[in-house]
C-alpha cells in the first residue's frame, strides 16, 4: 500500500466530485428558471423525499452520512434558487418600467407564441398574438381564411392588425410567420421603435403539424425559409436560435433590460 497513490486517488475523486457538483448546480439553476417562469414554489418536499428514498433503496451506501450530505446539497440548491429568484424579480421590475414593445418574428412553429406567453409571465407584461386577434375577430384560423378568401384577403387583415398592435406600448407581440412576405409590413415594423427578435430554429424542429405548410413537406419548408430568412433578418434587432424555450426567454429578458 502506497500512501501517496491512495491520496492521489482521493484527489482525483475530489476533482470528479467538484465537476459533478458544478454540473448538478447548473441543472438546479435551470430548474429554478423553469419554476420562476411557470410560477412554481422553490421548495418541493415530495421531490426531496423521493431523492432520499432513492439513495437508501437503490444505492449501496458505505455510510448513511451520505444521505446527510445530500440533504445539505438540497439545502444549498434551494438557497441558489432563492438567490436566482431575487435576481429574476429585479429583472421583472426593470422590464415593467420599459415601454418598448417586443416583437417576435420567425417561421411558423419556431416557438413565437410559446416564448411570448412565457415572456409575459416573466416580465409581467401583456402578450398579444396577431394570429389570435385575427381568429377572434373573424372566427377562423389563418389557414381557413386563406382557403376560403385567398391569401391577399388574409394579408390585408394581417396588415391592419399589425398597424393596430404597433401603436401599443410595453407589449409582447407574436407575429404570423408569413407576415414578412409583404413589404408594407416590413416598413411598418422598421418605422416602429420596437425591439424585434427573430426566433430561428432548425427546420426539422419546427412545429408545423396542423399548419397549412405542413402539407408541402420539407422541400416547401426549405423554399419558404430561403425566401423569408433574409426578410426576417432585415427587420430584426436580434436573432436568437430557439434550442430551448426557457433559455430563449431568459436571453430576451436580459437583452431587453440591458438597453
Terminal-to-terminal C-alpha distance of the chain: 62
- For cell 410559446, the residue is 114
- For cell 412565457, the residue is 118
pLDDT bucket at 212, cuts 50 / 70 / 90: low
pLDDT tens for residues 12-28?
Answer: 999 999 999 999 999 99
Residue 56's domain spans which residues? Answer: 3-93
What's the CATH number where 166 sits?
3.40.50.300
150 and 188: one domain? yes
pLDDT tens for residues 78-114?
Answer: 999 999 999 999 999 999 999 999 999 999 999 999 9
Question: What is the structure's pLDDT at 208?
Answer: 64
**What pTM value is reported for the model?**
0.90
Which three three-digit cell numbers place residue 196? Answer: 424585434
DSSP state of 141: -
pLDDT at 140 over 60: yes
Q: Cβ(217)–Cβ(258) under 8 Å?
A: no
In the Cβ-directed half-sphere of 88, how many Cα atoms lie within 13 Å? 25
What's the CATH number where 47 sits?
1.20.59.10
Amino acid at each position: 500500500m502506497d500512501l501517496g497513490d491512495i491520496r492521489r486517488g482521493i484527489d482525483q475523486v475530489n476533482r470528479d466530485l467538484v465537476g459533478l457538483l458544478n454540473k448538478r448546480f447548473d441543472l438546479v439553476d435551470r430548474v429554478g428558471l423553469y419554476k420562476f417562469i411557470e410560477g412554481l414554489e422553490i421548495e418541493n418536499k415530495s421531490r426531496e423525499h423521493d431523492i432520499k428514498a432513492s439513495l437508501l433503496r437503490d444505492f449501496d451506501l458505505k455510510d448513511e452520512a451520505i444521505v446527510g450530505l445530500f440533504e445539505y446539497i438540497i439545502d444549498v440548491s434551494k438557497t441558489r434558487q432563492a438567490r436566482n429568484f431575487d435576481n429574476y424579480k429585479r429583472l421583472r421590475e426593470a422590464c415593467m418600467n420599459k415601454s418598448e414593445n417586443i416583437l417576435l418574428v420567425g417561421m411558423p412553429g419556431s416557438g413565437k407564441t410559446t416564448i411570448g406567453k412565457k415572456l409575459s409571465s416573466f416580465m409581467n407584461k401583456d402578450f398579444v398574438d396577431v394570429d389570435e386577434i385575427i381568429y377572434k375577430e373573424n372566427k377562423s384560423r389563418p389557414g381557413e381564411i386563406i382557403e376560403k378568401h385567398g391569401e391577399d384577403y388574409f394579408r390585408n387583415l394581417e396588415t391592419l392588425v399589425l398597424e393596430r398592435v404597433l401603436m401599443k406600448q410595453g407589449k409582447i407581440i407574436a407575429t404570423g410567420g408569413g407576415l414578412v412576405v409583404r413589404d408594407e409590413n416590413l416598413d411598418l415594423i422598421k418605422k416602429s421603435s420596437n425591439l424585434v427578435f427573430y426566433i430561428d430554429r432548425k427546420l426539422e424542429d419546427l412545429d408545423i403539424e396542423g399548419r397549412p405548410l405542413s402539407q408541402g413537406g420539407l422541400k416547401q419548408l426549405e423554399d419558404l425559409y430561403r425566401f423569408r430568412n433574409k426578410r426576417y433578418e432585415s427587420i430584426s434587432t436580434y436573432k436568437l436560435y430557439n434550442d430551448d424555450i426557457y433559455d430563449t426567454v431568459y436571453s430576451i429578458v436580459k437583452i431587453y433590460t440591458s438597453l
